Amino acid sequence: MATDTRERILDSTAGLYRRQGMSATGLKQIAAASNAPFGSIYHHFPGGKTQISEEVIYAEGARYSALVGPQLAAVDDVVSGIPELFASAGALLEEMDYSEACSIETIALEVASTNERLRKATAAVFTGWTTELTRWFSQTGLPEAACRRLALGFLAGLEGGFVLCRSLRSVEPMTAAGAAVAAMARAELE
């Protein structure tokens, strides 16, 4: 865990958002979870919860990229690797008893119609992930437009899988999403 107060606040906030969402997380809870005096919240984040949330979005986006990047790089065959990547995400959810998932998705659902600043931050992270996935799919030799379609399908399947898995307490949706994205990739390659 981070020792710097500012980093502890960001780390604790990210964890709370992964488990319970942004709306259900209050500043007093963030202070308690980060073992920081309440006043340090506004000292380090004068913009309050919006500023903390925006910084969490970007930090979590980078954290997930760092986590998934090596997994993508380790895949030898894109089409056959897709179900394995989805299975890995499902296994991680199951291991955590479905208590945590993608905080970017959770925040995006909460703010899409109510907070333009945070909506734009989540959109920037999703755009970055789409770009990374488009690059990954480019190793298939498909045109960029097809790679982007596959990247969007992959990301939509993964994020939708997180929502359904958590609700149903089952990895079945993630398995189905992985199979669907693999089928989409096979169809693009034919």
| 60-69 tens-digit pLDDT | 999 999 988 8
Q: 29 is written with which tokens?
A: 């809870």
What's the rounded mean pLDDT across residues 130-139? 96
Q: How far is CA 101 from CA 82, 142, 162, 185, in A?
A: 19, 31, 6, 25
Of 89-103, 115-129, 162-176, the least confident: 89-103
Q: What is the reported pLDDT for 138?
A: 95
Confidence of residue 39 (pLDDT cuts 50, 70, 90): very high
Give me the domains of the chain, ranges plus CATH numbers: 56-189 (1.10.357.10)
How far is the C-alpha of 107 from the C-alpha of 23, rounded, in Å? 8
Please give the mean pLDDT across all residues of the chain: 94
